[in-house]
Structure 1
Amino acid sequence: MLKTALHRLSHWERLNFLLTNRIPRRWATLLMGRFSRIQQPWIRRASIGIWQLFAGDLHLEQAQKTDFQSMHDCFIRALRPGARPVHNDAATLISPCDGVLGAMGRINQTEIFQAKGYPYDLGELLGDTTLAERYRDGSFVTLRITASMYHRFHAPDKCHLQQVRYISGDTWNVNPVALKRVEKLFCRNERAILELDLPPEEPDVRATHILLVPVAAILVASIRLHALEQPLNLLYKGTNRITCDTHYHRGEEMGYFEQGSTIIVITGPELELNPALEQGQTIRMGEPLLIR
């Protein structure tokens, strides 16, 4: 029976991979972006209904509003106050988003993993080997935001955003099936690198630096940052290095995916992952993710 179940799972994984990756990913993504914004009432209701059928419970009772103009409006929904309590222990940094914990652990020099047996170099992900060296032998954690989850992301602590690097790329699906089949997938996809400086807790102590790397995917290649005027998506034509001067409080909203995807959190060796966390576990924004 177990063998039959595993065979069925393998068959479904192959079908899932073919359906989501062997199509014109760019055009499918642009088309979905337009379709999701249609405000015609019956299309809106049908779209959200089908989405809930396949994605699972959207927990709309947590949303700030429940009357949505379109499927897109529902997807980027804000939550009511108090729906995500922020852990306030200064010895921790919080998760910037809701997500399922994927590959995580120590960075081996500058090598990290997207899945077991699928390594990639931090310099390739960031498009900058000098920046990668800053995080040598640090830690990383992959947060996969599933279709039914809350899609906004927040500051992991009091911090200063000085620069955003945008790297245009492909839109491979980032689900576990694809991560086990496509080498260096995160290094291929559309992504942004947010460099955050965290002020020291005590005088004469060096500031801490971390990176948030939102990675877009098929149907979801659009990242909206409140610090920028333009969204970062397949139609973006601006500079790839965008200077910022934005300060955030712990838990303050930084932006959102205009659909769901993944955020990779990268730290130097001065921070460690919360030892209570396990791969496959679901974490919510505001819960302890890193320890000073």
Structure 2
Amino acid sequence: MIKYFNRKTRKYEIEKVAGGTYLKWIYSSPLGMKILEIIIKKKIFSKLYGLFCDTRYSKKRIEPFIKDFNIDMSECPINYNDFRCFNDFFSRSLKQDARPINTNKKILISPVDGRLAAYEHINLNKIIQIKGFTYSLSELIKNNKISMNFTNGNCLIFRLCPTDYHRFHFIDWGKCEPYNKIKGNYYSVNPISLQNIPKLFCKNKREWSIFHSNNFGNVIYVEIGATCVGSIIQTYNPEKNISKGSEKGYFKFGGSTVILFFEKNKITVDRDILEQTKKGYETKVLLGERIGTQYVQ
């Protein structure tokens, strides 16, 4: 059971997990773990499933998925029947007014729809994955020189469920450097797997880039793939002027994660998010909503 905090209702809610029973068995049983290591974590497994989701035969999965997870299709600019395949539906765009962007330059916005855990004054060698498991930033991006610039900064972990809108966006105006690819496995990023696989984020396929934000300093964007994620697609233009809220890229099918690292004294995360993280709960957020502010001494 995954419980998260809903900021709007100020209540805790239970997440409906796609394939929850399967995930629990895979990541909690001896036989499941053997199958995970031999087959499921491998690139070929996710690639083949991704290829299937790109075919017209996968289209029949769209309507049941919408009904099972109560997805609001009024936010989408086209009818679900008009999608060519499941991946087209999964990586769908939204209507322009579906996610209002807070354009106040001092306000930090969420780059995605997802569940957020936030950490202040991070120890670069002990970044929290989940209670009991940590990893280092240099392991994650494989660049110790850049990592050192983020000592005592902030780390924001956004977990995207398969039911979420799966495009990720920029939090501010600025310019973004070209992205770096790191090959890896395809473990699930669900809390069930995070509790069982040490340094999971450092083991999975991922891409990272440095965003030179006008108002929040330099920010490391890390996009992490997961089981059945066919691809991480970057759609931004490197070194070009970027607007707050503009699209950076999207994931194909599967749950995924976006992690942002901020330098010391650049942002202040909203108190309710920090309090819920300390209690062990993620906070549900939507693209464009306020999650913090520019740091003020």
Q: Same fold (TM over 0.5)?
A: yes
Matches of 1:14 and 1:98, distance apart in 2 = 24
Q: Find the residue that maps to 1:134 and give its secondary structure.
A: helix
Residue 85 of structure 1: aligned partner: 100
Q: Structure 1 residue 285: deviation in Å?
A: 0.4
Q: Structure 1 residue 221: deviation in Å?
A: 4.2
TM-score by length of 1: 0.82
Residue 38 of structure 1: aligned partner: 55
Residue 287 of structure 1: aligned partner: 289
Q: Structure 1 residue 24: deviation in Å?
A: 3.4
Q: Structure 1 residue 169: deviation in Å?
A: 0.7
1:250 aligns with 2:263: no
Asked if the contact 2:120–2:154 (Cα under 8 Å) also holds between the matched residues in 1, the reply is yes
Q: Structure 1 residue 213: deviation in Å?
A: 0.5
Residue 220 of structure 1: aligned partner: 229
Residue 8 of structure 2: aligned partner: none
Amino acid in the other structure paired with 1:77: R
1:153 aligns with 2:157: no
Matches of 2:133 and 2:264, distance apart in 1 = 22
Matches of 1:16 and 1:53, distance apart in 2 = 26
Matches of 2:240 and 2:196, distance apart in 1 = 38
Asked if the contact 1:114–1:179 (Cα under 8 Å) also holds between the matched residues in 2, the reply is yes
Q: Give the direction of change, closer, same or farther, for the CA distance of 1:225–1:11 in structure 2 (3 Å limit).
A: closer
Asked if the contact 1:100–1:143 (Cα under 8 Å) also holds between the matched residues in 2, the reply is yes
Q: Find the residue that maps to 1:106 and give its secondary structure.
A: coil
- Computed over aligned residues only, the root mean square deviation of the Cα atoms, in angstroms, reads 2.2
Q: Give the direction of change, closer, same or farther, for the CA distance of 1:28–1:287 in structure 2 (3 Å limit).
A: same
Amino acid in the other structure paired with 2:25: L
Matches of 1:166 and 1:12, distance apart in 2 = 29
1:51 aligns with 2:65: yes
Instruction: Name stretches of at least 5 consecutive residues in structure 1 with no aligned partner.
Output: 1-9, 201-206, 229-243
Residue 61 of structure 1: aligned partner: 74
Instruction: Name stretches of at least 5 consecutive residues in structure 2 with no aligned partner.
Output: 1-19
Over residues 119-173 of structure 1, what are the superposed CA-to-partner deviations in whole Å (9 max), with x where a residue is unaligned?
1111101101111101011010110000111000111010201231111111111
Residue 14 of structure 2: aligned partner: none
Structure 2 residue corresponding to 1:112, chosen from 127, 142, 163: 127
Matches of 2:21 and 2:235, distance apart in 1 = 41
Equivalence map 1:51-200=2 (5 Å): 51-52=65-66, 56-66=69-79, 67-102=82-117, 104-200=119-215
